Amino acid sequence: MKKENIHNITSSGFKTPDNYFESLDAQILERISEKEMISGSKTTGFTVPKDYFNSVESMVFEKLAVKPEQPVITLKPRRTFYYVAGIAASLVLLVSLVFNNTNESLNINTIDTASIENYLYQEDYSNDDLANLFKTDNMSETDFIDIIISDDYIDQYIDNIDTEDLNLD
């Protein structure tokens, strides 16, 4: 068959005998009513050994018979391990606190200026917040005159400063 003639097909190609669907119910019921089909199977297909039901009870009780108990091995509880580990950790902490006590006191003079600048830079304080921290009653111009800054520190500061931080407006 050619592709050009596909739209001209009028039949599906399947054929059924005349009056097939009208007589189908009658044919099925006729086969069901035949006693030869049903009586043809005389055995169920399942077989039971001889004297099975007489001896099954004794076989079940034999399998369920109490067996002698075997000794139970107790495992060491982990609770004692946790107690010992806690005591050891507290002793190590106590020893490290007592013998690692250095007499260095932390004050404003021991903190590096760069650390303070980094802290203030990371905290995003505004100029108004920093101005509120200064007490103008105790400040004078002479406080800033006596400060001596070395040239090396100025050079290092200029090398590390970002050009984006400079506001020349």
Average pLDDT over residues 13-39: 77
What is the tens place of the pLDDT at every residue in 114-143?
Answer: 888 788 778 777 778 777 777 667 767 777
Alpha carbon distances (Å) from 29 to 34, 95, 137, 162: 9, 99, 117, 100
**Predicted pLDDT of residue 88:** 95
Q: CA end-to-end span of the chain, whole Å?
A: 88
Residue 24 binned pLDDT confidence (cut-offs 50, 70, 90):
confident
Give domain limits for the chain. 113-160
Which residues touch 31 (CB under 8 Å, ≥6 apart)?
Answer: 37
Average pLDDT over residues 10-21: 80
- Residue among 124, 119, 117 nearest 153 (CA): 117
pTM beyond 0.75: the answer is no
